[in-house]
Every structure is written in structure tokens, then in C-alpha cells.
Amino acid sequence: AGAETLKRAVELDLASRFQESLVCYQEGIDLLLQVVKATKDEAKKQRYRQKIPDWGMSCWDLSFPDGKYHKQIRIEENSTGFSYEKLFQEYLTEIVSEVWVEDPYIRHVHQASGSWLYNFLRFCEMLVKGPCKVKTINLLTSYDEGSGRIQQMSGLEEIQQSLRSYGVTLNISFSSSIHDREIRFNNGWMIKIGRGLDYFKKPQGRFSIGYCDFDLRPCHETTVDVFHTKHTKKM
């Protein structure tokens, strides 16, 4: 059914019936993703996984003919409901296997607003839970200053080792000139957050609402910009 729907999408595309074609592409891809989940035939799984990105880009071209997309989300001061899951899950499709994180402050354990290292750990936990099948996470950050560097390296190495037990490789690189904060997925989505991963406020106490559930944690004011590019550059 998925193959037939996609065949129909191509026919409609060639006939310049773009809106109908877009619907068929979307429905066909959804059907094939269900097949990939259910089938035990590895050869069939691999064949569909190779084709789905191509059909997805055809769908993308119909949705955004100029190949560009920009969505901006403004997180207001003290607002809630902006956990990493709520912010990123929309873009973490099943074909995502590699992630790039560029943030100069993945270092301190204790900060006025919380913990940068723990925030990065929470982000990694979200990737491990899926639905994406992430195999590689590339982190570019800056070294902590003074004695904090030992704590930074110890924390990152512990995260690296823990991810390895889930079949995920964490590559860590350092730069003294990094300033930008952005997150990229290999399906083409790029998210830029003004404050990076550190946009949550420090909880009022260890037993206050929002300490565990980040959807209930008040946020600092920041802006989130979402883009899509057909070719995600690597660090």
C-alpha cells in the first residue's frame, strides 16, 4: 500500500498536481515506516530505509519549493512547557542517526541556572529514548577554566562511557573560539537556541514542582530558530 501510494505521488507530481502529490508522499512514507517497524526481513528494512530519505526530500521540495524553512519560537521569561522533548521531538524522525551539538558552555556542573553538564546528559537521554536511531553524537564545546577542567572532562567521559553501553558514540572536540550555539540532525534540521541547552531556571528547591519534570520548569527568556538545509555540514 505504501509503495502504491508513493507511485501515485510521483504521478501527481509529474502532472503538476502538487498539493495532492504532497498528501500522497506523506501518507506513503508513514505506511512504509510502519512496515519498517513491523518486518523482520532485514533486506527489506534496508531497502526501504535507503529510499525513505529520497521520498522525504521530494515531499520537502513540494512543501517548500525554494528549499528554505525558518520557524522562530520565543520562550518568554518564567514560561513553562519547553522541555527538550517538546522542543526537539518534532524533528527527530526515525532516519536521524547522527547529531551535532555546538555549545561553548557544556562544562560546569553547578551554575546559577542549574547544570550545563546535566542538561547535556538530559539531551542525550532524549536521543537514546528515540524514536530516532542515533548512533553518533558530535559535541563541540570549550574547555572549562582552572580546576573546573578536571571536573568537566570527568563528567563528559562518564557520559561518553554510559552512551557507549547503549550503542551510541560520543565524539568530543574543543575550541577556544567557539561562540555559536546550534544543534543539527543528519535529516537536515538545524536548531539555534540563544542560550543553548541552558535555558531552564534553577528550581526553588529539590522537592519543588519542576525539579524532575522539565515541562514544569520555568525558563529564561530566549529565542529558538529552526532551519532546514539539504546538506548538514559536519564540525
Q: What is the CATH number of the domain that holds 125?
A: 3.30.870.30
Do 51 and 91 fall into the same domain? no
* Residue where a domain terminates, one of 42, 63, 84: 63
**CA triplet 211, 224, 231: central angle to 5 degrees?**
120
- Do 55 and 29 contact (CB within 8 A), yes or no? yes
Cis peptide before 53 (omega within 30 of 0): no
Task: Say yes or no to pLDDT of 61 above 80.
Answer: no
Task: Say yes or no to pLDDT of 57 above 60.
Answer: no
Do 53 and 80 fall into the same domain? no
Do 83 and 23 fall into the same domain? no
Per-residue confidence (pLDDT) for residue 235, from 0 to 100:
37
Task: Say yes or no to pLDDT of 19 above 90.
Answer: no
Q: Which of 86-95, 159-168, 187-196 has the lowest mean pLDDT?
A: 86-95
- Do 93 and 132 contact (CB within 8 A), yes or no? yes
In a domain, 180, yes or no: yes
In a domain, 233, yes or no: no
The pTM assigned to this predicted structure is: 0.69
Do 23 and 7 fall into the same domain? yes
Do 167 and 79 fall into the same domain? yes
* Residue where a domain terminates, one of 44, 63, 82: 63
Do 204 and 102 fall into the same domain? yes
* Residue where a domain terminates, one of 11, 34, 63: 63
Query: Which residues, other chains included, contact 112 with Cβ-Cβ below 8 Å and sequence gap of 6+?
Result: 202
Percent of the chain with pLDDT over 90: 42
Mean pLDDT of 211-225: 94
Task: Say yes or no to pLDDT of 111 above 60.
Answer: no
Compute and round to an integer the Cα radius of gyration of the chain.
Answer: 20
Do 166 and 207 fall into the same domain? yes
* 167 dihedral zone (left: phi>0; alpha: psi -120 to 50; beta): left
Domain count, the chain: 2
Task: Say yes or no to pLDDT of 79 above 70.
Answer: yes
Segments forming the whole domain that contains residue 142: 70-228
Task: Say yes or no to pLDDT of 84 above 90.
Answer: yes
